[in-house]
Amino acid sequence: MSDLLFTNARLIDPEANTDTLGWLHVRDGIIQSQGSDIPPSTDTIIDCRGKCLAPGIVDIGVKVCEPGERHKESYKSAGAAAAAGGVTTMVTRPDTTPTIDNPETLEFVTRRAQAEAPVNVLPMAALTKGREGSEMTEIGFLMDAGAVAFTDCDHVISNTKVFTRALTYARSCGALVMAHPQEPILSAGAAATSGKFAALRGLPAVSPMAERMGLDRDIALLEMTSARYHADQITTARALPALERAKNNGLDITAGTSIHHLTLNELDVSDYRTFFKVKPPLRSEDDRQAVIEAVRTGLIDIISSMHTPQDEESKRLPFAEAAAGAVAMETLLPAALRLYHSDQLDLPTLFRAMSLNPAKRLGLNSGRLSAGAPADLVLFDPDVPFILDRATLKSKSQNTPFDGQRMQGRVQATYVAGHEIYRRA
């Protein structure tokens, strides 16, 4: 492969904010040019037949269960799921067993990922040892070993002294810290968002205010430390004004949200369906709409799958006891396309949040269709209808909330550095 031309493609370019028919020229795995006039002549031509060609998804917050729980998800199965979902870069979480909190463990997972996964894998490491919130990890050594961000995942560091020092130290290393904004005591044990539905079902619930309290605290600490900060999931309307103020005040803050909080609400839990149990819990429809609007305006920067494999045993439990999380890499794009079909978000906006912004936040050159960017691409048909059958998922765990649901739009092929790593049969 030296020269590759995608022709007759609907190019979704989040950087230029355009959605136009044209061609894309790739040489040696690098995007050379795009256009709509006469394309250059190349050895290999891929006719996209008018389907969408977009920068591959950069998914921040993927849980691969190595080390520790390979029966739930391995680098091999996660890599296959990513490829089938159009995810060309997985940014993995450290909430494994044991925690990825030292350079030796990080090197192990990097080796495993390189050997097994066809997509780019960038590991995150824990911010505190064992994610226990008491001692910071070796941020400098972990960065040297390849950690792209530091996070205790869904563990909130409640000791503000520890968190402040970790943020301060991280800043001096230039490290990005990803936190889970949540008031930890208020939200302890919660399985649902407080409101009519949780009351009716009698579920332990947390006020959406806990998210705003957590975010307010973190923003105050950012003002103290000037650290680089990313909020993993902002899911409530009440947290948005604080986020906007922090951005206007020039803090180095970005925010993400999960595909589930964008496309599902608390009522989907219905009869205690544990595949809909995620963390934080699904919110009200008003919150969901507010979060969609925040993605549209760019206040929320990033959409992630928050891919969290759980085996049947951890889900086949009373709702309050069931494990939280859902697999989502393969359903990320079809679910996101719901927002496109409902005329709420256009395709460049979706790929700004799924590809461009996460790549930018991590300092990657990918996530765009510009010359010089790696040819990490996803080719998809935005309109084809299908009913999701979770048995067809490539993840080892199949805990998806979309099982049996009607979806519209799916991935046809995925490319990493110009190599086709997935094509739908």
Residues of this chain that interact with another protein (CB under 8 A) are 134-141, 159, 161-162, 165, 168-169, 171-172
Q: Cβ of residue 323: shortest distance to another protein, in angstroms?
A: 30
Q: Cβ of residue 103: shortest distance to another protein, in angstroms?
A: 9
CB-based contacts of 225: which residues, under 8 Å, 6+ apart?
A: 164, 167, 168, 171
Q: Cβ of residue 289: shortest distance to another protein, in angstroms?
A: 41
Using alpha carbons only, how large is the chain's radius of gyration in Å? 20
Nearer to another protein by C-beta: 144 or 383? 144
Nearer to another protein by C-beta: 81 or 167? 167
Nearer to another protein by C-beta: 165 or 201? 165
Local structure of 192: helix, strand or coil: strand
Q: Cis ω on the peptide bond leading into residue 98 (within 30° of 0)?
A: yes
**387 strand-pairing partners:** 406
Q: Cβ of residue 138: shortest distance to another protein, in angstroms?
A: 4
Q: Cβ of residue 169: shortest distance to another protein, in angstroms?
A: 5
Report H helices in 179-272: 196-201, 209-225, 240-248, 259-263
Local structure of 389: helix, strand or coil: coil
Nearer to another protein by C-beta: 161 or 316? 161
**Two tokens at 242?**
């604080």
DSSP codes of every residue in 306-348: -B----HHHHSS-TTTSPP-B--TTTHHHHHHHHHHTTSS-HH
Nearer to another protein by C-beta: 20 or 172? 172
Q: Cβ of residue 249: shortest distance to another protein, in angstroms?
A: 18
Distance CA 61, CA 85 (A): 15
Helices and strands (H and E) in the chain: how many? 13, 18
Nearer to another protein by C-beta: 129 or 296? 129
